[in-house]
Structure 1
Amino acid sequence: MPSLPDLAPFQQRHDELAAQMADPAFYNNPRAAADISREHQRLHELVEAHARYQKLLANIAEAEALKSDSRADPELRELALGELLTMHAEAAALHDEILRAMIPPDPSDSRNTVMEIRAGTGGDEASLFAADLYRLYSRYAETRGWRVQVMSSSGSDRGGFKEVIFLISGSDVYKQLKYESGVHRVQRVPVTEANGRIHTSTVTVAVLPEAEEVDVQIDPEDLEITISRASGPGGQGVNTTDSAVQILHKPTGLIVQCADERSQIKNKARAMTVLRSRLLQRREEEERAKYASERKSQIGSGDRSERIRTYNFPQNRVTDHRIGLTLQSLPQILAGEVDELFTALQHADHAEKLAAINRGESPA
């Protein structure tokens, strides 16, 4: 039976959390208490599973000794042989369960998610495909019972999107969508192409866990807020009021614009939501870089310069380049039927993290 990584660091962390929970002031901060309680419960289940595994290994050793003892009763030896088959199967399953439990959960998995889709190379065709991707994620969200709220958008002349930013709210949104960050490439014949030539266009997708005010502290002095009259599609009410909001975060140079609502207050609130999420993502990326600069996971870093997926219309295929998966179901995927694709990405990420644990590395 393959050995497991050392349990000692997990046991130590379990005991540290137990001591914190015993402090009378533990529940003074309900949010921190909830986070610590969840982590303690996860580690408690890991420690118990490890104890069951060790006991099972001891039982296997006893059965192996009995099976090999020529002096033992033949019926007992036959019984031991039958039990060994069952116990080995149980041990293998428990071994994998323990490895999975050793993978630290992404603290952002349960968060709502801000998605940003932008047309890249390809002109009108890129903007039309940006709209296709927006519909894909919106339909998928609908099947999950999630809520989609457009935060900001910029349309193109042909009905596509130069840019669309939207918030998806629901259960485990970031967990399901976090692998979508990167460059999405489309190969198809544009409706404006008279000679039937295939064009290649790109769209960038950014997936940001929604940040709350307690996650990212923003000094009002660091903000430069500009108010102007909204322009472009949106109705007469939008276009005749000074409701468009642009926020510049001076320390980072990040700029967020929002003009979809008639209310200046609502536009500012939405712009702040996007800004906080971008700042949270930047901070998390900087922290990950400290510990993972020499190892790039199979799933990829999510950098927008990476071409992560190709949608080929003439061949009716979608290929995810990170895991080498090709599906011949492009219309279904564009209709939001992406469970097979998303599950494959999650399994690949899971397998890579398990391999890292087996190598004695951090799976983060």
Structure 2
Amino acid sequence: MFDKLQALADRYEKLSELLCDPDVGNDPKRLREYSKEQSDLQEAYEAYTEYKSVVEQHEAAREMLNEKLDDEMRDLVKMELDELTDRKQELEDRLQILMLPKDPNDDKNVIVEIRGAAGGDEAALFAADLYRMYTKYADTQGWRTEVLDSNVNDLGGFKEIVFMISGKGAFSKLKYESGAHRVQRIPVTESGGRIHTSTSTVVVMPEAEEVEIEINDNDIRVDTFCSSGAGGQSVNTTKSAVRVTHVPTGIVATCQDGKSQNSNKDKALQVLRARIYEKQLQEEQAKYAGERKSKVGTGDRSERIRTYNFPQSRVTDHRIGLTLHRLESVLNGDMDEIIGSLTIAAQTEGLGEDRGDQAV
């Protein structure tokens, strides 16, 4: 591992030299490529640089213990040595995680689909809560959001909403959100004050570029229809809404939130590419892991990755056993602790698998 880290450090420093080269500065393509490569290496480089410094300090402290010292100084050196030993181990663990193979989709934008599942109108209202939670979280990250398609019920909930979140690292942070989300609360439609359980499903897909998923015009069927819901005078009068069907796979994408038929078709194709790409990823993962751990499932009440319990102001992620008693702040976009814990759990699992492979 340390040979790889040294090679990484050498490359990072070489990139620093290249980025100072006037020829590179005058070449936007090379400048962009080198800057991105260095940015990808930076976290591991800084951790490795600190690790080497801690190792040097650790060796110096050990040598000092062999010298003639008074009791007070010896105690101070031992204390420093203990702290350096702990820090050295922390950095070694962190470096092992940083050297794990990176998901090639991590830096991509994402397309998110949220659907009301079990629970009727209440499930649709909860879908709207989830949409608001993700957009609020996106705001805290400096990401942009854009609705691609939506289907609103009479109470303002979403039977379905599809939207894009654009920003660096969006997929890396949101990819663990796919699954069934369960809510426990008294619905606004409940007159008897009883707590109901409903679910909404979330799918998070990396945006697929045209070069990754090429769609042949002969393989798609495009249908137009009148938009429904809020949208101005053109709603229900002009056929601006678009439905695109990928005939070979049967995958369908619709969009009616754009201002024109052309913009809706472009957005529908974006969603279609993402869905085809996601299908390919699932098929590849199935070869090695059987059934996807993050599958959406049917949306049945018994299938869930997370529960939002309003009476107890509690959020529980069942995959990692994390419970937080601050539901309101989470629904307002304060998701860092949940997402951070899920990321660490996934990295730790990946580290265990990597060690298992090495043992074999």
TM-score of the two chains, using structure 1 as the length reference: 0.78
RMSD: 3.8
**Contact 1:245–1:267 under 8 Å retained in 2:** yes
> Is residue 302 of structure 1 aligned with residue 294 of structure 2?
yes
| C-alpha distance in structure 1 between counterparts of 2:221 and 2:320, whole Å | 42
Shift of 1:15: 11
Equivalent position SS for 1:238: coil
Which of the numbers 143, 147, 152 marks the counterpart of 1:146? 143
Q: Residues 106-143 of structure 1, C-alpha deviation per residue, up to 9 Å, x if partnerless?
A: 22222111110001011111111111111111222222
**Contact 1:230–1:238 under 8 Å retained in 2:** yes
**Contact 1:238–1:260 under 8 Å retained in 2:** no
Going from structure 1 to structure 2, the CA distance change for 1:34 and 1:239 (only over 3 Å counts) comes to farther
* 1:269-348 mapped onto 2 (5 Å cutoff): 269-291=266-288, 293=289, 301-305=293-297, 306-348=303-345
**Contact 1:244–1:267 under 8 Å retained in 2:** yes
> Is residue 194 of structure 1 aligned with residue 186 of structure 2?
no
Which of the numbers 110, 134, 141 marks the counterpart of 2:131? 134
**Contact 2:183–2:198 under 8 Å retained in 1:** yes
| C-alpha distance in structure 1 between counterparts of 2:44 and 2:328, whole Å | 45
Shift of 1:99: 0.8
| C-alpha distance in structure 2 between counterparts of 1:51 and 1:316, whole Å | 41
Which of the numbers 90, 104, 110 marks the counterpart of 2:101? 104
Q: Residues 186-219 of structure 1, C-alpha deviation per residue, up to 9 Å, x if partnerless?
A: 1111122222222111100001111111221112
| C-alpha distance in structure 1 between counterparts of 2:276 and 2:200, whole Å | 22
* 1:224-263 mapped onto 2 (5 Å cutoff): 224-263=221-260
**Contact 1:238–1:261 under 8 Å retained in 2:** no
Shift of 1:325: 1.2
Which of the numbers 172, 175, 179 marks the counterpart of 2:176? 179
| C-alpha distance in structure 2 between counterparts of 1:277 and 1:31, whole Å | 29
Which of the numbers 88, 92, 108 marks the counterpart of 1:91? 88
Going from structure 1 to structure 2, the CA distance change for 1:41 and 1:332 (only over 3 Å counts) comes to closer
Going from structure 1 to structure 2, the CA distance change for 1:331 and 1:88 (only over 3 Å counts) comes to closer
| C-alpha distance in structure 1 between counterparts of 2:356 and 2:338, whole Å | 27
| C-alpha distance in structure 1 between counterparts of 2:203 and 2:255, whole Å | 17
**Contact 2:5–2:48 under 8 Å retained in 1:** no
Equivalent position SS for 1:174: helix
Amino acid at match of 1:304: V
Going from structure 1 to structure 2, the CA distance change for 1:259 and 1:46 (only over 3 Å counts) comes to same
**Contact 1:49–1:94 under 8 Å retained in 2:** no
Q: Residues 318-356 of structure 1, C-alpha deviation per residue, up to 9 Å, x if partnerless?
A: 111111111111122222222222222222222222333
| C-alpha distance in structure 2 between counterparts of 1:288 and 1:8, whole Å | 30
**Contact 1:238–1:262 under 8 Å retained in 2:** no
Greater CA deviation, 303-312 or 82-91? 82-91
Shift of 1:87: 4.6
Going from structure 1 to structure 2, the CA distance change for 1:43 and 1:110 (only over 3 Å counts) comes to closer
Going from structure 1 to structure 2, the CA distance change for 1:32 and 1:219 (only over 3 Å counts) comes to farther
TM-score of the two chains, using structure 2 as the length reference: 0.79
Equivalent position SS for 1:260: coil
**Matching residue of 1:205:** 202
Shift of 1:36: 9.3
> Is residue 215 of structure 1 aligned with residue 212 of structure 2?
yes
**Contact 1:141–1:168 under 8 Å retained in 2:** yes
| C-alpha distance in structure 2 between counterparts of 1:139 and 1:80, whole Å | 48
Report the count of equivalent residues. 342
Long gaps (5+) in structure 2: 12-26, 298-302
Long gaps (5+) in structure 1: 1-5, 17-26
Equivalent position SS for 2:265: helix
Shift of 1:91: 2.6
Equivalent position SS for 1:163: strand
Amino acid at match of 1:302: S
Shift of 1:80: 7.8
Going from structure 1 to structure 2, the CA distance change for 1:221 and 1:38 (only over 3 Å counts) comes to farther
* 1:11-160 mapped onto 2 (5 Å cutoff): 37=37, 41=41, 45=45, 52=52, 59=59, 63=62, 78=74, 84-85=81-82, 87-160=84-157
Going from structure 1 to structure 2, the CA distance change for 1:226 and 1:92 (only over 3 Å counts) comes to same
Greater CA deviation, 132-141 or 262-271? 132-141
> Is residue 169 of structure 1 aligned with residue 161 of structure 2?
no
Aligned identity (percent) is: 43
Going from structure 1 to structure 2, the CA distance change for 1:253 and 1:11 (only over 3 Å counts) comes to farther
